[in-house]
Structure 1
Amino acid sequence: MPPLTWLNRARPQKLPFRRRVTRAAVALIYRGGITEGELFFIQRAHRPGDPWSGDMAFPGGRLQTGDTSSRDTAMRETVEETGLDLYQSGHYQARLTDRLTRHHSRWRPMVVTPHVFAWQGDDVLRLNHEARHGVWIPLDYLSNPDNRSTLALRTPVGRVTLP
């Protein structure tokens, strides 16, 4: 189970215009206890024209017509991309605040909804063509300031440096 502080702070904000733009959802998959917890990431496959090729990411993708909710999208995309079946071995914890980003092929807005799941299944991955690798990263590694860096990006409004 994730640390209670995650869930106590999870008062999700839904963006009011989210139904009028492209929508996507991701799964933040957590395993282990408070001191030895890990988050699951994928490395995206290299694809021509994809600005996020090779990036580390949470599994997920765009809402499709058959999806009943953004949570269902996150679960469906996770099993498609990784083989990790959140329907069977993922215990739903929380929905987090919507994130505004852009569609990968143009500068139109897209809303991404993150969902947190506690994983209690095996580690057998069956990656599809969208994911190159899957890895569990310890929370203490992610929270260590020595492991942080910055990234400079070009945007339509100029150069932005992100932590």
Structure 2
Amino acid sequence: MVMRTWLKKARPRKLPFRRHVTRAAVALIYRDEPGSEALFFIQRARRDGDPWSGDMAFPGGRLQPGDRSSRDTAMRETGEETGLNLYREGLYRGRLSDLLTRHHSRWRPMVVTPHVFRWQGDTAFQLNHEARQGVWIPLAYLADPANQSRLPINTPLGTLTFPCCRYQDYCIWGLSYSMMREYLDKHGVS
């Protein structure tokens, strides 16, 4: 495989206050064998009180006291949620820009750091209770303008529309969509 340098040249945005708020990290896992370039997504399990219940996402979660770094968090959480062992079969490629969101049901800020890994194992996965489905989606499909859409969401402020990508019965939007777009833009697929 040709080593990609696109991510090393990227200058991801690091939010200066990230160490003073709740932090989370996710893993964008890609495979790049010719003819099967794809990103791995999970569909979150449906749970009461979870504002992103059932949404498409990248595996990940909150930093825990034992985690050495946000990259370690992304790797640990991926193993717990999907059975994909990034310590053994993931090649770390870099990070993308920090994103600001809110901490689940509270209005406190949370910073999410996406980390990118090239998958070097087989594509089988074993989901835990936090994930409902797992799917490898072709990069060409994700980048195709014909597959981009708008998602209306009812809010207290009225109906807002967000950009999204629809794949089969899945809809990628919000933070996951933003991370996906940054990845595709830096990868040169868009």
Mark yes or no: TM-score above 0.5: yes
**Residue matched to 1:12:** 12
Q: Comparing both chains, which one has the higher relative contact order based on Cα–Cα distances under 8 Å and sequence gaps of 6 or more?
A: 1
Q: Is 1:123 equivalent to 2:133 in the alignment?
A: no
**Higher deviation after alignment, 124-133 or 64-73:** 124-133
Moved more, 48-57 or 9-18: 9-18
**Alignment RMSD (CA, Å):** 2.1
Give the drift of 1:148.
1.3
CA distance in 1 between partners of 2:35 and 2:97 (Å): 25
Deviations 1:25-49 (A, max 9, x none): 0000000247641000000000011
Per-residue CA deviations over 1:54-78 (Å, capped at 9, x if unaligned) read 1110000000000000000000000
**Residue in structure 1 matched with residue 53 of structure 2 by the alignment:** 53
Which stretch shifts more, 23-32 or 141-150? 141-150
Distance 1:124 1:36 in 2: 15
The answer to whether the Cα contact below 8 Å between 2:8 and 2:93 also exists between their aligned partners in 1 is: no
Cα deviation, residue 152, structure 1? 2.9
Shift of residue 107 of structure 1? 1.6
Q: Percent identity?
A: 72
Q: State the AA in 2 paired with 1:132.
A: R
Distance, in Å, in 2 between the alignment partners of 1:152 and 1:6 is 34
Q: Structure 1 pair 154/133, CA: closer, same or farther in 2 (3 Å)?
A: same
Partner of 2:175: none
Q: Distance in 2 between matches of 1:153 and 1:2?
A: 41
C-alpha distance in 2 between matches for 1:156 and 1:13: 30
* Aligned residue pair count: 163
Match of 2:67 in 1: 67
Q: For 2:94 and 2:50, how far apart are their aligned partners in 1?
A: 30
Q: Distance in 1 between matches of 2:156 and 2:3?
A: 38
Aligned counterparts, 1:12-161, within 5 A: 12-33=12-33, 36-154=36-154, 159-161=159-161
SS at 1:150's partner residue? strand
Letter of the 1:25 partner, please give it. Answer: A
Task: Structure 2 unaligned segments of length 5 or more: list them.
Answer: 164-190
Preserved CA contact (<8 Å) 2:8 2:94 = no
**Aligned mates of 1:90, 1:39 — CA distance in 2:** 13
TM-score with structure 1 length normalisation? 0.91
Task: Give the whole-Å Cα distance in 2 for the aligned partners of 1:65 and 1:112.
Answer: 16
Contact 1:94 1:115 in 2 (8 A): yes
Q: In the aligned structure 2, how far is the partner of 1:34 from the partner of 1:19?
A: 39
TM-score (norm 2): 0.79
Q: CA deviation at 1:160?
A: 3.5
Matches of 1:83 and 1:6, distance apart in 2:
28
